[in-house]
Amino acid sequence: MSYNTFGHLFRFTTWGESHGPALGVVVDGCPPGIAISVEDIQRDLDRRKPGQSRFTTQRREDDAVRILSGTFEDERTGGQKTTGTPISMLIENTDHRSKDYSEIRDKYRPGHADFTYHQKYGIRDYKGSGRASARETAARVAAGAVARLVIPEVKIRASLVQIGPHKIDYANFDWDQVDQNPFFCADPKAAAMWEGYLDGIRKDGNSVGAVIEVVAEGVPPGWGAPIYGKLSADLASAMMSINAVKAVEIGAGFEAASLTGTENADEMRAGNAGPYFTSNKAGGILGGISNGDPVVVRFAVKPTSSIITPRQSVTVENENTEVVTKGRHDPCVGIRAVPIGEAMMAVTLADHFLRHRGQTGRDGGVGY
């Protein structure tokens, strides 16, 4: 069962709400003996943190992480290393300014999970949306930072590739640009254009959706499994579990529907280090198993539902009303989803690495 747990061998459980004293994550199944430091975790958390540009919420959360268990001193280095037991990480909620919930307390906000939570649990956690808050994603990012240490040879990066109707031009794609603009965007020209576009959206009190592309290089062939344990199926679940995500694709994705067999199947050639593919329509996954090419996943994030434009809704007493969501909200939640997508890629791959090693005794394919 996986209400709040993700993964099988490398697995983590998150907990906490934005209105409570803290949130956190327990990572279980991490291999022992891996060097780890708070900085390894904090680095990734800082990239997800709100308030880093005018395009993300101005809420102030330090997101300072503490490691409470699962590490021990490494006498050789003086640092810490994992022990193979649960790594519990905790982040305190520091933004405790008292809020006025009277506007939303008795109303369902359109596009939010207010109505469905109430239906499921019979409880309205109207303060900060309970577990539906995007704050939960900080816990994922912490787990993802640990996962990266488990598979250090795999390089995981992500870029925003579309914001509203505006897509990047892959001809301009340069990973080094990702940290040079407020959008985690690998196309500097697109990023420049988006600034003006998103300013307009923000000033209108509106919001907009986005598409994120996550790429993992260095994945050996052999990770994944043929049927319900497909690497692609677990990545789909991983990305779709992120708040506001409505679509996931691997490699050519939906575009593959329009292609013919001659166009779509990546051809192979003999290389010095073994066979290689001349293209990567497959996105690095064939039959649910990694093929050695970069694993490429894209996912779509819907526009922030919290907008200041009035929307029609109903009260918890089933009376018609209007909702205006005030407060400090991201005009495009897709921006902060970039490091979250990286984290979910990392945890999924780390889990499949251990699962593959358990069954086969090998770290990768037979020829590697």
Kindly identify the residues of this chain, within the stretch 224-263, that bind a second copy according to CB under 8 A.
Answer: 224-230, 232-241, 243, 245-263
- In the bound complex, what is the minimum distance in angstroms from residue 178's beta carbon to a second copy? 19
Report which of 86, 110, 51 is spatially closest to residue 305, judged by C-alpha positions. Answer: 110
Contact (CB, 8 A) for 296 and 213:
yes
Complex with a second copy: residue 13 or 56, whichever CB lies closer: 13
User: How far apart are the C-alpha atoms of 166 and 154, rounded to whole Å?
Assistant: 30
User: How far apart are the C-alpha atoms of 128 and 17, rounded to whole Å?
Assistant: 7
Q: Is 196 exposed, middle or buried (0-12, 13-18, 19+ CB in 10 A)?
A: exposed
Burial 113-124 (b: 16+ CB within 10 A, else e): bbbebeeeeeeb
- In the bound complex, what is the minimum distance in angstroms from residue 100's beta carbon to a second copy? 16
Binding window for a second copy (CB under 8 A); candidates: 51-59, 176-184, 185-193, 290-298: 290-298
3 state DSSP class of 41 = helix
Q: Which of 48, 157, 336, 356 binds a second copy (CB under 8 A)?
A: 356
291 binds a second copy (CB under 8 A): yes
76 binds a second copy (CB under 8 A): no
Contact (CB, 8 A) for 357 and 235:
no
355 binds a second copy (CB under 8 A): yes
304 binds a second copy (CB under 8 A): yes
Binding window for a second copy (CB under 8 A); candidates: 43-51, 52-60, 185-193, 310-318: 310-318
Complex with a second copy: residue 12 or 50, whichever CB lies closer: 12
Q: Which of 182, 188, 218, 288 binds a second copy (CB under 8 A)?
A: 288
Mask for 160-189, x = binds a second copy (CB under 8 A): --xxxx------------------------
User: How far apart are the C-alpha atoms of 261 and 266, rounded to whole Å?
Assistant: 10
341 binds a second copy (CB under 8 A): no
Interacting residues of 367 by C-beta distance below 8 A, sequence separation 6+: 221, 274
Strand-pair partners of 156: 216
User: How far apart are the C-alpha atoms of 193 and 206, rounded to whole Å?
Assistant: 18
78-97 residues in contact with a second copy (CB under 8 A) are: 81, 83-88, 90
Residues that bind a second copy (rule: CB under 8 A) add up to a total of 161
- In the bound complex, what is the minimum distance in angstroms from residue 37's beta carbon to a second copy? 16
CA angle at 217 for the pair 183 and 246, rounded to the nearest 5°: 50
Q: Which of 141, 146, 178, 222 binds a second copy (CB under 8 A)?
A: 222
CA dihedral of residues 223, 227, 229, 231 (deg, nearest 10): 50
3 state DSSP class of 180 = helix
Complex with a second copy: residue 176 or 278, whichever CB lies closer: 278
- In the bound complex, what is the minimum distance in angstroms from residue 29's beta carbon to a second copy? 6
104-143 residues in contact with a second copy (CB under 8 A) are: 108, 110-113, 115-123, 125, 130-132, 136
User: How far apart are the C-alpha atoms of 223 and 345, rounded to whole Å?
Assistant: 13
- In the bound complex, what is the minimum distance in angstroms from residue 189's beta carbon to a second copy? 19
Interacting residues of 362 by C-beta distance below 8 A, sequence separation 6+: 222, 356
Classify residue 274 by its DSSP letter: E
Q: Which of 2, 58, 94, 180 binds a second copy (CB under 8 A)?
A: 2
CA angle at 189 for the pair 296 and 201, rounded to the nearest 5°: 90
User: How far apart are the C-alpha atoms of 123 and 119, rounded to whole Å?
Assistant: 8
153 binds a second copy (CB under 8 A): no
Q: Which of 39, 68, 101, 175 binds a second copy (CB under 8 A)?
A: 68
Complex with a second copy: residue 16 or 50, whichever CB lies closer: 16
309 binds a second copy (CB under 8 A): yes
Complex with a second copy: residue 266 or 342, whichever CB lies closer: 266
Complex with a second copy: residue 136 or 176, whichever CB lies closer: 136
